[in-house]
Structure 1
Amino acid sequence: MPFTSSIIPSLSQHEPAWWFMFRENELLVHLTDEHAHIPKISQPEELSLHVLRTQYLGQLDGIACFSAELDAAENFVPADMAFRALRPLYNVLPEEFFWLAGRAFQVMNWDRNSQYCGRCGRQTVLLDGQRAKICTHCQLTTYPRISPAIIVAVIKDQQILLANAPRFPHGLYSVIAGFVEPGETFEDCVHREVQEEVGIEVRDIRYFGSQPWPFPDSLMVGFTAQYAGGEIRVDQEEILEAGWFRADKLPDIPGKVSIARRLIDWFVENYS
């Protein structure tokens, strides 16, 4: 189903719409057996919910989509519904709704975190016709925060570089990733992150693909690269262990929700 992003609703708000409603960081979903669904209603008040702010997202196959911030003290849960963290809903929500829920969370989260100016502390208001806010006092304009990060599959002699980080579940290994610093290109970031985290050099950096990662506001930009030199050296802080793995002897790896898994699957397909 095609999604069209927009700022201003083009249909009456009395028409049924998809509502992505969050209590703090949890999404309200219908639960049926092993599946979840986004509520399709005209207004949140139909469910007796107290909404603090709403944001129009656009249309999914001609049906309006909204995100909404619910009162954090909201204890009421409509019948056959539940509040759930977003990431575990992958493969529970239909995929297009999962990624749209991620978009909804990022817009909602930006809205609630930008009620006041970061420079002078005065109140902000929405800027007409844009996904932006302007300070009523100093006129500083702010936009939704997006934090770019690289993620890279490094290949050496039919093997892929995988690492275990302290934040990972026990035994899980993944490819190298890190946030882009001011003034860097994506390629600069690949070189720096790989060298900082495992102490090796890379070459032949090639774009692979990208993925929004709404936990809370990243944009993952994927690359492949070839080993160019050096020995693996980890700092025991950001990375605990790292090594080279063949396609038929992989450790536990991330689930299919992430671009990390797409990179590893690409390696398996091309280097088995």
Structure 2
Amino acid sequence: MMIRQEEVMLKAQRAMWVVFSRGKLVVQEASQTLPIGHLEELPFLSSYADNIHQLPPLNESAHLSYPVFVVDLGSEHIDEPGWERISLRQLLFSAQDIAFSVIGRAWQYTHFLRTHQYCGQCGAKTERVDWEMAVHCHRCQHRSYPRVSPCVIVSIHNNEQILLAKGVRHKEADMYSTLAGFVESGESLEEAVHREIFEEVGVKVKNLQYFNSQPWPFPHSLMVGFIAEYAGGEIRCQENEIDDAQWFNIDELPNIPPRVSIAGQLIAKTVSLISDK
């Protein structure tokens, strides 16, 4: 059930609305932006009052002038003039000011609620906790929080060139990027870097330098970025993971991710390091 505070805010304040329908975002057709306004300005949401939840604010979204409400329509399709559905990635890459502080976190919140309707310990129905992002089981008192999966992402250079790879999943887009992989249980970030790089392209690296981190909502990753120097080995692409991997001159780069992503930022930083030598 919606808490009373949210009911008051819904009626009295303008808000930003993050509406998910079948895994996509519902946006205004003309501008392809998230709607900002009162609830009555979005009449197609009138039947989903119990599914409207306020997204708890974080420091990254403190600059926003409006509260943010998340609405999960599940598999329902909205057929309303002036509105359309677009992919999460499309809006993330085009709305840099709010992409990762609001949209990405809203999807992780939605994904968490979708996948934790029942207790993983006893199987009973869970209820949403009003004061934090969690669900609680009143039968066995087990409480669940959104999962965060650490993932290393690494840019590799050999003083003059940068190593980029094209994943099997990005074969059709013909996009080359940095190497990345999930951290396994009991493994440090540095150990994951060495293991993933050797598994995916067969080379070894040295002199790891931490770069930055970025939440990545596909579905609940935390990307931890590193820059590394090539230490040896010949490129050998991992079957079923890497379609192609090559050393590229910085003035002859292939199609790469946009700078809104940490992969694009890593590539830009590495290119800068090579240029300064």
Q: Shared fold (TM-score greater than 0.5)?
A: yes
Change (3 A) 1:47 1:10: closer
Number of the residue aligned with 2:97? 96
2:236 is matched with which residue? 233
Q: Give the partner amino acid of 1:43.
A: L
Partner of 1:5: none
Aligned to 1:197: 200
For the 8 Å contact 1:207–1:224, the answer to whether it is kept is yes
Higher share in helix = 2
**1:93-118 deviations in Å (ceiling 9; x for gaps):** x4223331111111112112211112
Whichever residue aligns with residue 214 of structure 2, its letter is: Q
Which residue of the partner structure matches residue 171 of structure 2?
Answer: 169
Secondary structure of 1:36 counterpart:
coil
1:13 counterpart = 2:15: no
The correspondence for 2:20, drawn from 3, 19, 22, is 22
- 1:111-190 equivalences under 5 Å are 111-170=113-172, 171-190=174-193
Amino acid of the residue matched to residue 44 of structure 2?
S
CA RMSD in angstroms, aligned pairs only: 2.2
After superposition, the Cα gap between the structure-2 partners of 1:115 and 1:149, relative to the gap in structure 1 and judged at 3 Å, is same
The structure-2 alpha-carbon separation of the partners of 1:197 and 1:107, relative to structure 1 and needing over 3 Å to count, comes to same
CA contact (8 A) 1:150 1:180 kept: yes
What is the rounded CA distance, in whole Å, between the counterparts of 2:215 and 2:8 in structure 1?
Answer: 27
CA distance in 2, matches of 1:10, 1:191: 50
Match of 2:73 among 66, 70, 74: 70
Q: Which runs of 5+ in 1 are unaligned?
A: 1-7
CA distance in 2, matches of 1:250, 1:48: 46
Give me the whole-angstrom Cα distance separating, in 2, the residues matched to 1:178 and 1:44.
Answer: 44
Q: Which consecutive segments of 4 or more residues in structure 1 shift more than 4 A?
A: 8-11
Q: Which structure is higher in strand share?
A: 1
The whole-number CA distance in structure 2 between the counterparts of 1:44 and 1:268 is 49
Distance 1:70 1:101, change over 3 A: same
1:186 Cα deviation (Å)? 1.0
Instruction: Please give the alpha-carbon distance, in whole angstroms, between the structure 1 residues aligned to 2:170 and 2:7.
Output: 44
User: Using the alignment, how far apart are the partners of 1:30 and 1:240 within structure 2?
Assistant: 37
Cα pair distance change 1:174/1:46, threshold 3 Å? closer
Q: Distance in 1 between matches of 2:206 and 2:72?
A: 45
Task: Label 1:139 to 1:199 Cα distance change in 2 as closer, same or farther (>3 A).
Answer: same
Give the deviation of 1:128 after TM superposition: 4.7
Q: Which one-letter code corresponds to 1:199 in the other structure?
A: G
Scaled by the length of structure 2, the TM-score of the pair is 0.86
The answer to which of 68-77 and 44-53 deviates more is 44-53
Query: In the alignment, which residue of structure 2 is the partner of 1:213?
Result: 216
Secondary structure of residue in 1 paired with 2:169: coil
Amino acid at match of 1:203: K
Letter matched to residue 217 of structure 1: H
Q: Which TM-score applies when normalising by structure 1?
A: 0.88
CA distance in 2, matches of 1:250, 1:21: 37
Task: Check 1:10–1:207 CA distance in 2 against 1; reply closer, same or farther (3 A cut).
Answer: farther
Supply the AA of the counterpart residue of 1:126: R
Q: 1:84 maps to what in 2?
A: 86
Structure 1 stretch 198-207 or stretch 53-62: which is displaced more? 53-62
Give the residue type in structure 1 aligned to 2:235: I
Amino acid at match of 2:258: G
